[in-house]
Chains A and B, each alone.
Chain A
Amino acid sequence: MNRFPLYLLLFVLTFASCADELEIINPNQITNDSFWQDETDAVQGINAAYSTLHRTGFSRWQPMLYDVRADVGTSNSPWSELANALNNFIQPNSNFGPMTDVYADNYVGIFRANQVIANVPGIEMDENLKARVLGEAHFFRGMHYYHLASLWGNVPLQLTPSSPNDLPPTSSEAEVWEQVIADLDYAAANLPLQYGPDDVGRITRGGALALLAKAYMQNGRYAEAVDALDFFFTGEGADLYDLTSNYADNFSALTEFNVESVLEWGYADNPLEFTDQDTQTPNHNYGTSIAQFYAPPGIGFADAEALRWVVGEFEEETTTDGSRDPRLAATYLYDHTDPAGPEASIVYGTPWIDRYGDSDRVFFRKFLNDDYKNEEGFRSPNNYRFIRFADVLLMYAESLNAIGRTSEAYAYVDRVRERAGLPPLSEVRPGLDADAFLEQIKHERLTELTGEGHRFNDLKRWGDLGPGLADRDPGFANYQVGKHGLLPIPQRDLDINPNLVQNPNW
């Protein structure tokens, strides 16, 4: 018994000496506190924002929302919930995965940008690089809010790095657009004109201005759009961009980052990837699965496909040498991708007639890789050209026309038509008034840009969304004005945050 106090002392000593033994370092990752120290950290921080571009929601579903929810696309997906939500404006479940994936990935991008915006100003580093990184971050935040404003309209604005209990209120669509414009404005002021070969694909001043112009246009602020786009014609960007001679080069994985590229999301094939989750492992999917989801049945899922009426738009005119508009074959896989018909139209190595007989279905081709292989998969390396110089030309023309400078606008439309081999508009339809010119622009945008994820915003901007489109796209029979212009805010967020309100009529 007399040894008892000794043992007690021993225990207490053992116990007291533990404090440091319980400081166990995480050997896998560095902590937040030790990051954001230098230039490398700043660049890696902004690189994370680029990584969002190949996340599933952003790279797969988002372009689909813009095309299939518009009048150029439809869905015969056997996943009926998807078909109905995408094409038929029937979405009883506001948490429906593909939609919330898009919503979520835009906020993932915003969280990434916000960390850069909050942490990089305090880093001692090269001021030019710092300005660039912050410019990129503001671009990404603005770009993500651009998509949120376009698709959901009234969303919460997260402008600082998130903390778990943030309960922000819903900001109005107009407030969100203001944020888009402010961020893109900041980005344009701080971003360089070009990058070296290792950094090709980083956001340039031209990229920021082109998206800024789009944001202005969506809000009817055409004069400011013209100011932004002047950069490409009279400003510093005047010599930087041009149209490729071959239209189809804009949709091939073999001709990426070409002279027409203004904003382009880089994708690559990582053959060993085993997940789409870009934070799980470096071995994640660097590509986009959109090719798999757009490719015709037997190759891909064909969750999105085209409507045939648009083919007629291409056939309205022939080229100056009397042949078919070359953009048609670059835009669609269908029974006449080759004008000679279904026997000559090759779909992934096999004639149309052998795969689909006399089917009159039409499939979007621009995101596909059938120019160099006969299958698709979840990791298409084919870059998504978000804004091409051709789009900039048509935007400029549309904006000039909108502010009464119609005659100036012709030249820019003509550049687009000339590349396609069509006669200049100034010859075939000179002297159009503003309304007629806008109608012409609508046609030009269809033939130049269909299947690239712009149509929904185009229709929205022109005020054309409505049940009247049901003649072209029966899905629009269900379209309710005042409701379906915006998607429903996911219920799961409404469940969590009482300060949020659902979009009108949802």
Chain B
Amino acid sequence: MQSRSISLALLWVCLFLGGGNLLAQDLLTVSGTVSDAEGPLIGATVAVKGTTQGTVTDVDGVFTLEGVDPTDSLQVTYVGYTPRTLAVAGQTNFTINLSENISNLGEVVVIGYQEVKRSDLTGATAVVPAEQINKTVSNSLAESLQGLASGITVRNGGAPGAGAVIEIRGAASFVNTNPLYVIDGMIADANVTFNNNDIESVQILKDASAAAIYGSRAANGVIIITTKSGRKGPIRPALSVTTGIQQIPRRWDVMDAAGFAALQRTSYENSGLEPPASVAADFDPTIDTDWQDEVIRTGSTLDANLSASGGSDNLKYFVSGSHFRNEGVIIGRGFNRTAFRVNSTLDLGRITIGENLVLTNNNIRQPLGGFDTGNPFYDMVTMLPVIPVRGDRYISDTNPGGWGIGTVDAVSYAKNQVAVTDLLREKINFLKLIGNAYVQVELVKGLRYKFNVGLENSDDFSKGLRRYGVTQFNAAVRPSSIQDNRSQFSSLLMEHTLNFDRTFGNHALSAVIGTSDQQTKRNYTFASRSDIVESGGDPFEQINSATGESLAEGGVTTDYRTIGFLGRVNYNYAQKYYLTLTGRVDQDSRFSRDNRTGVFPSIAGSWRISKEDFFRVPWIDDLKFNASYGTLGIVTLGSWDWRGTINNNPRAILGTVQVGAYQAGLVNPDLRWENRKSQNYGVEAAFLDYRLTLSANYYDILSEDALVTNLPIATYLGNLGGSPPVNAGSIRNTGFEFEANYRQQLDRLQFNIGFNLTTINNTVQAVGNRGDGIDYIQTGLTRSRVGEPLGEWYLLQTDGIFQNQSEIDAHAVEGNLIQPFARPGDIRYVDVNGDGQITDQDRSFTGESPWPSLQLGSQLGLSYANFDVSAQIIGIFGNTLYNSVRSQLDGYQNTNFRSDVNPWTPDNTNTDDPRIGIATNDQGLVDNARGNTDRWLEDGSYLRLRNLQIGYTLPDAALDRLSISNLRVYVTGQNLLTLTKYTGLDPDVQGNGILERGVDNGNWPSSRIVSLGLNLNF
């Protein structure tokens, strides 16, 4: 309603302003053509300035106006182009050239199987320029996109080779919120194996109209990546190198050995126990291990790219090679990627042949994951400073390396992370080929047939090495072993499309129909042998070198096929009225025959009011309203989830080991597509000669039949291997997006400011039939209840600290103490259900949300003469995080302590920290350390200077002699400044899956990176 009344008001304003006067004089008939550098412009508006008189150019760019006063001026406008005003001055024939304006509205945007001008978009599509993406040093594209467009939410992974979590317009699935990536027409994941430097442009399809052409894959939005390609001209080599250092911006402030020992003594004494010798009689002041120092290091990054491009009239080519390297900020972790890319197009008149090939070789080095690995972000904080990294006294049968670990005397269950990197090693290699090749034939004018074959192939190999020995107190030792895991992934896409593109007078019509057939497969082989051989402290890494027992596993984890029929029609009348109809029908092998087919239609329309004759608002260059509605789908299943299978892994240990087999996991045969009903209402406007562009969108996306796989399934069913998925959920995301860009060029000074704002209101609509009165899904610390957002905190509520026994006595129901084990100094919990005890029944919604209420992004750019400065700022507001590491520290048990911990004592009552003691046989202390309470929630809002870059372009004069066309050097600081109240290492937390998005489970923080770079073009 609101947007409608605004448009009505604008209409009135326009009519009022547009009212002109007519005076008759000696009138002329003028005509002419309007064109740009490429040729005639169809549908350009030619108006007599100050009147309502006007026309549009025809298919040849020709216009004719009658009754023009010789003293009038002609105003020629075309969306995306700088308007021109020409005095008639008696002239009757005009040749008018327009040039594209600063707004980029004239640029071509890839929308999937078609390209349209940005000004002709009807759906919600964001375009992110490559230059912004490449300002940051990042592992993945998703990480680089953080803050650069409205409607997207990115949470970083941090670790070398780790991807980021990206959501477009909220989370509408319980299972999968990953968008679809389309790289040069190939549907393939742009994960860490993808080199951002190859990107020419990125478009993000956010609504149903934009994304429906990808139908059954598009429900989470689509990110279309167009990579760089060659242009006509001589060979153009280019080189860019960026190298930097990487640091963890913040550390935990925990105690040193003396401080720890003192407080640990107090803790034992408070509990009437004798302190262990490690902090008393045997306290050794020479051991004072700062475990953070031992585990954290200064990382490094290197990103080098070399490319060459060029072409003739018929052949254009682009080749590039790149190397990216990241030595992580935590010991034992690193990532590198070497990529090679080639693409070319061969133009043979009516036939065009082209291809795109990328070969990447990616290596990750990290500790082998498993029970002994732990998480350094917990362990380096909780491990006791009285334990050395190594020591002779720790040498034993199970700890031959003498790694410092907890003992009976200094109990800690933290893993020694230095030992972890020594004993547990993993090298992962992804050798990946992504590419496509196509042939396109122009059948008749405006009608093109294209056959496109895409391929993604990945050979993945991980080698794990487990050396003999424990990493943790009391751990059971396992045999040393070598493990090889090889996996092969392939995805083959075959598409036939027919494109039609014609204009008939004011009618512009473009359409595409086609078929798409994709087969995706993954298999794996795993082999391992125990008892490795070492020589001089170096382990042999080949299976054949080991001497123990062997095992082998293998299988096909994925094998599915999706066949689709797609079509879209774009129609516009004089760039004024737009209609887009899109549809896709997909069939997918991951469903039973009855549920296999999905239909995904959408419709969108736009009205460019600024081209209406009655609209004469000089200060508005462009004003367009968009609306769309449609259905999208997504498959969130494994290849055979709908079919119950027999599990033959169980073994009966009898006189012989015998095979057991049965149906271990329950299945739901009636699995269907997840659907999204998506609506979008938007307005786009340009002002100040297109220097200022604004766009605003309101969206409403309702997911239906959302698959719920992580439904807590009743224990009494005896099900194993995860709960059977059910199409039972529904989630609505609504929100508002706003983007503004201002650009100006003043002589040698250029600047631009981009700003975007996103709100997401997420509401669970249905969770399926969970039984009478059960309208929620409980997941660990959160609950997703109908009417509330996904995964809201559902915890016990604390209410300060009991200051004395009488407060404990007063916390009672009918004379019975609610917390009978509490002592003064303990946490008071709210007995929400009033049953006189604190149980899980007292959990409730805390009223705080892991969802941000507002997300902001801003990009600033400024250049003067040869200097340029740019900045990216992101802000996340209104969310709450669960600080799990702090919950361990402040649980006081078997852990180091925060330096500023201030435990309650009868003499020290003005504190938020409860009394300290040893919890065994003291339920009061156990209760204080409870995990599922609001005590560990913290404000997760932050404002971050994500990137700051200062560059200098060397003057041409200095370069000409070296035949260098351009040389720019720059220094970049990433994550230099973060304003937050969060006490963990980083408020940019990926969380624990979709439903516990705010849980900081020792999240790897975003690094601070300071780098130097060089761009060189010949």
Contact = CB atoms under 8 A, between A and B. Distances in A.
B717 A162 contact: yes
Interface in B39-87: none
Interface stretch (A75-83, A123-131, A418-426): A75-83
Most buried by A among B517, B660, B921: B660
A297 B474 contact: yes
B716 A155 contact: yes
Interface stretch (A99-107, A309-317, A322-330): A99-107
A278 B649 contact: yes
A286 B659 CA distance: 12
B895 to A, nearest CB: 11
Nearest to A104: B715
A427 interface: no
Interface stretch (A60-68, A195-203, A226-234): A195-203
Nearest to A82: B920
B655 A201 contact: yes
Interface string B696-711: 0000000000000000
Given A41-B661, A107-B718, A279-B649, A272 B530 contact: yes
Nearest to A103: B715
Contacts of B548: 271-272
Contact of B644 (A31, A93, A166): A31
Contacts of A54: 653
Q: In this complex, which of B449, B644, B666, B921 has the most chain A Cβ atoms within 10 angstroms of its Cβ?
A: B921
B645 A30 contact: yes
B885 to A, nearest CB: 19
B563 A47 contact: no
Contacts of A297: 408, 474
A496 B712 contact: yes
B650 A48 contact: yes
A280 interface: yes
Given A11-B513, A35-B646, A47-B660, A53 B653 contact: yes
A488 to B, nearest CB: 9
A27 interface: yes
Interface stretch (A108-116, A204-212, A395-403, A446-454): A108-116
A29 B648 contact: yes
A155 B718 CA distance: 13
Given A1-B444, A78-B894, A377-B477, A162 B639 contact: no
Contacts of A78: 411, 413, 893-894, 920
A115 B716 contact: no
Chain B interface extent, by class = 35 or more
A236 interface: no
A124 B781 CA distance: 50
B866 interface: no
Interface stretch (B289-297, B679-687, B766-774, B798-806): B766-774
B486 interface: no
A27 B640 CA distance: 10
B838 A268 contact: no
Contacts of B551: 272, 283
Contacts of A108: 718, 720
Contact of B654 (A11, A45, A200, A374): A200
B501 to A, nearest CB: 13
A12 B555 CA distance: 35
B561 interface: yes
B1001 interface: no
A300 interface: yes
Interface-central residue, B498, B513, B652, B927, by most chain A CB under 10 Å: B652
Range for the number of chain A residues in contact with chain B? 35 or more
A289 B476 CA distance: 10
Contact of B668 (A22, A164, A493, A495): A164
A90 B923 CA distance: 8
A292 interface: yes
A385 B482 CA distance: 35
B652 A22 contact: no
Nearest to A51: B650
B412 to A, nearest CB: 9
Contact of A80 (B648, B654, B925): B925
Nearest to A166: B717
Interface string B14-48: 00000000000000000000000000000000000
Contacts of B927: 92
A282 interface: yes
A27 B408 CA distance: 50
A18 interface: yes
Nearest to B564: A15
B726 interface: yes
A42 B560 CA distance: 32
A374 B588 contact: no
A8 B514 CA distance: 9
Contacts of B129: none
Contacts of A280: 649, 721
A379 B960 CA distance: 73
B649 A88 contact: no
Given A1-B444, A198-B655, A80 B666 contact: no
A58 to B, nearest CB: 12
Contacts of A107: 715-718
Interface in B753-775: 769-774
Contacts of A15: 515, 563, 565, 585
Given A49-B660, A158-B716, A272-B528, A24 B559 contact: yes
A134 to B, nearest CB: 15
A496 B919 contact: no
B6 interface: no
Interface in A12-32: 14-15, 18-19, 21-24, 26-32
A376 interface: yes
B657 interface: yes
B813 interface: no
A161 B716 CA distance: 11
B89 interface: no
Contacts of B478: 377-378
A51 B922 CA distance: 38
A29 B662 contact: no
B518 to A, nearest CB: 12
A467 interface: no
A121 interface: no
Interface in B374-417: 397-398, 408, 411, 413
Contact of B649 (A50, A199, A282, A375): A282
A266 B478 CA distance: 21
* Residue with the highest number of chain B CB atoms closer than 10 Å, among A41, A197, A495: A495
Interface in B593-607: 593, 596
A235 interface: no
B821 interface: yes
Nearest to A77: B920
A482 interface: no
Nearest to B560: A24
B620 interface: no
Given A47-B659, A80-B926, A495-B778, A292 B476 contact: yes
Contacts of A35: 646, 661, 663
A495 B774 contact: yes
B211 to A, nearest CB: 21
B555 A11 contact: no
Contacts of A282: 648-649, 651, 659
A45 B646 CA distance: 10
A21 B563 contact: yes
Those 8 A-B pairs whose CB atoms lie nearest each other, nearest first: A111-B718, A51-B650, A48-B660, A47-B660, A50-B652, A200-B655, A266-B653, A47-B652
15 contacts: A14-B517, A22-B561, A43-B658, A44-B659, A80-B925, A92-B927, A111-B719, A112-B650, A115-B662, A168-B716, A195-B655, A201-B652, A257-B655, A266-B654, A282-B649
Given A21-B563, A162-B718, A280-B649, 14 more contacts: A7-B449, A22-B587, A26-B556, A44-B658, A44-B659, A46-B660, A78-B413, A90-B821, A107-B715, A164-B717, A167-B714, A279-B650, A280-B721, A301-B474
